[in-house]
């Protein structure tokens, strides 16, 4: 009998699955927008956190740096508090069943709908010279990542919601055609915890690829952190009591909320309202508080990066955990779809 409740598995806990591509360095937005929540979730749910190395091949065919990037993304996540003893931390390419399920799901995915995917259209615009079929079927592979664990919840940002919707579509199509195997995965909603971390140049949010001087990376050294914060846009200060803050000033206050003490923030709020704020001092304070926050994560990640043996063990243990649900799901999939004739 198939239990259709999301996350039904050996344990009673609900199953959560998410992936992160090993491209670029993790930044403050990744921490406060995602990783910090993963760290909480690992206490309550059966968590699968996966390094999407196969996905990275769709846009980064040169693999010279892949090993370092995979190690770094693991090391940084662990340094932020993800615990390989609690969650399954693994690499996509180590669990072959994902690729097998991807093949089955490809027969249920129509090229017309894949071509309409927003991320696909963005990518062909950015790289017209490399419009490969893997890029087109990127959402199918992502659906396989999720469905292979029959996961109920997927913590993703806005930019991945369409992909999650497609995963639900493929789950429904499979169930309709071959029998009820897959729960439909839902977006995991962090509620108030869903924070957007503003970039330091006053526009948009921190990002892996855009304007590196406006983004604080977990690997930035103390001097770099200070330099980036001191360059953040400010002005001469408000001319009237209790003014509305311009966006770029609001952003600096917002960053302070993440790492500074409440009384410090209140002092600068009051200075702003009384037109006596000195943005130079405020940025110095923010820089020191940010250094105090990022420095231990950076050092811990660097130590883990040096310990290849430990990283190997983490990946092996994670893949072993991920294979349990993957092997079980593929057995059901093969049987349900009629490939059970020997």
**Residues annotated catalytic, as ranges:** 123, 205, 208
Under rule CB under 6 A, how many of the chain's residues touch ligand TRP?
Answer: 14
Beta strand residue intervals within the chain, DSSP E? 15-20, 46-51, 88-91, 153-154, 186-187
Cβ closest to ligand TRP, residue 20 vs residue 214: 20
Q: What backbone phi and psi angles, to 5 degrees, belong to 18?
A: -150, 160
Cβ closest to ligand TRP, residue 50 vs residue 336: 50
Q: Which bin fits 158, alpha (ψ -120 to 50), beta or left (φ > 0)?
A: alpha
Cβ closest to ligand TRP, residue 17 vs residue 286: 17
Q: Does 69 bind ligand TRP (CB under 6 A)?
A: no
Shortest Å, Cβ 139 to ligand TRP: 8
Q: Does 146 bind ligand TRP (CB under 6 A)?
A: yes
Shortest Å, Cβ 157 to ligand TRP: 7
315 and 94 Cβ atoms separated by less than 8 Å:
yes
Q: Does 171 bind ligand TRP (CB under 6 A)?
A: no
Who contacts 53 (Cβ-Cβ below 8 Å, separation ≥6)?
22, 66, 70, 91, 92, 93
Query: Can you read off the two tokens belonging to residue 112?
Result: 């017309």
Q: Of 28, 136, 156, 311, which lies in the binding site for ligand TRP, with binding defined by CB under 6 A?
A: 156
Measure the CA–CA gap between 29 and 197, rounded to whole angstroms.
5
Picking from 329, 336, 327, the residue whose alpha carbon sits closest to that of residue 177 is 336
Cβ closest to ligand TRP, residue 52 vs residue 105: 52
Measure the CA–CA gap between 303 and 19, rounded to whole angstroms.
23
79 and 39 Cβ atoms separated by less than 8 Å:
no
Query: Can you read off the two tokens belonging to residue 111?
Result: 């090229």
Shortest Å, Cβ 60 to ligand TRP: 12
Q: Does 152 bind ligand TRP (CB under 6 A)?
A: no
Shortest Å, Cβ 216 to ligand TRP: 19
Q: Does 19 bind ligand TRP (CB under 6 A)?
A: yes
Determine the interface stretch with ligand TRP among 14-22, 126-134, 233-241, 293-301 (rule: CB under 6 A).
14-22
Picking from 122, 156, 94, 131, the residue whose alpha carbon sits closest to that of residue 319 is 94
Picking from 24, 25, 21, 20, the residue whose alpha carbon sits closest to that of residue 298 is 25
Cβ closest to ligand TRP, residue 19 vs residue 152: 19
Determine the interface stretch with ligand TRP among 94-102, 138-146, 238-246, 262-270 (rule: CB under 6 A).
138-146
How many CA atoms are closer than 13 Å to the CA of 38, on its beta-carbon side? 30
Which residues, 21 to 60, sit near ligand TRP by CB under 6 A? 21, 52, 55
Shortest Å, Cβ 159 to ligand TRP: 7
Q: What track of x and - describes contact with ligand TRP for positions 276 through 315 (by CB under 6 A)? A: ----------------------------------------
Measure the CA–CA gap between 31 and 194, rounded to whole angstroms.
11
Determine the interface stretch with ligand TRP among 12-20, 105-113, 282-290, 315-323 (rule: CB under 6 A).
12-20
Q: Which bin fits 204, alpha (ψ -120 to 50), beta or left (φ > 0)?
A: left
Give the residue closest to ligand TRP by C-beta: 19
Cβ closest to ligand TRP, residue 138 vs residue 279: 138
- Give the residues lining the site for ligand TRP (CB under 6 A): 17-21, 52, 55, 142, 145-146, 154, 156, 160, 163
């Amino acid at each position: 009998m198939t239990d259709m409740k999301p996350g039904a598995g050996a344990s009673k806990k609900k199953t959560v699955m998410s992936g992160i591509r090993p491209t670029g360095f993790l930044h403050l937005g990744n921490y406060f927008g995602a990783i910090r929540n993963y760290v909480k979730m690992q206490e309550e749910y059966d968590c699968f956190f996966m390094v999407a190395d196969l996905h990275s091949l769709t846009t980064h065919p040169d693999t010279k740096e892949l090993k370092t990037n995979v190690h770094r993304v693991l090391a940084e996540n662990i340094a932020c508090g993800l615990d390989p003893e609690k969650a399954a931390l693994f690499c996509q390419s180590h669990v072959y069943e994902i690729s097998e399920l991807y093949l089955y799901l490809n027969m249920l995915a129509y090229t017309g709908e894949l071509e309409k995917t927003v991320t696909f259209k963005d990518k062909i615009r950015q790289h017209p010279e490399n419009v490969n079929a893997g890029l087109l079927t990127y959402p199918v592979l992502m659906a396989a990542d999720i469905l292979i664990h029959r996961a109920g919840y997927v913590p993703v940002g806005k930019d991945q919601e369409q992909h999650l919707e497609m995963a639900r579509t493929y789950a429904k199509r499979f169930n309709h055609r071959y029998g009820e195997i897959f729960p439909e995965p839902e977006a995991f909603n962090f509620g108030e915890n869903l924070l957007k971390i503003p970039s330091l140049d006053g526009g948009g949010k921190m990002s892996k690829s855009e304007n590196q001087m406006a983004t604080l990376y977990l690997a930035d050294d103390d001097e770099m952190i200070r330099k980036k914060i001191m360059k953040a846009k400010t002005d001469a200060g408000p001319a009237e009591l209790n003014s509305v803050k311009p966006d770029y000033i609001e952003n600096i206050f917002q960053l302070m909320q993440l790492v500074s003490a409440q009384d410090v923030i209140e002092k600068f709020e009051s200075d702003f309202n009384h037109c006596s704020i000195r943005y130079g001092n405020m940025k110095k304070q923010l820089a020191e508080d940010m250094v105090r926050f990022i420095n231990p994560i950076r050092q811990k990640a660097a130590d883990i990066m040096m310990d290849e043996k430990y990283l190997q063990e983490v990946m092996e243990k994670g893949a072993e955990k991920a294979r349990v649900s993957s092997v079980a799901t593929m057995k059901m999939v093969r049987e349900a779809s009629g490939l059970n004739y020997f």
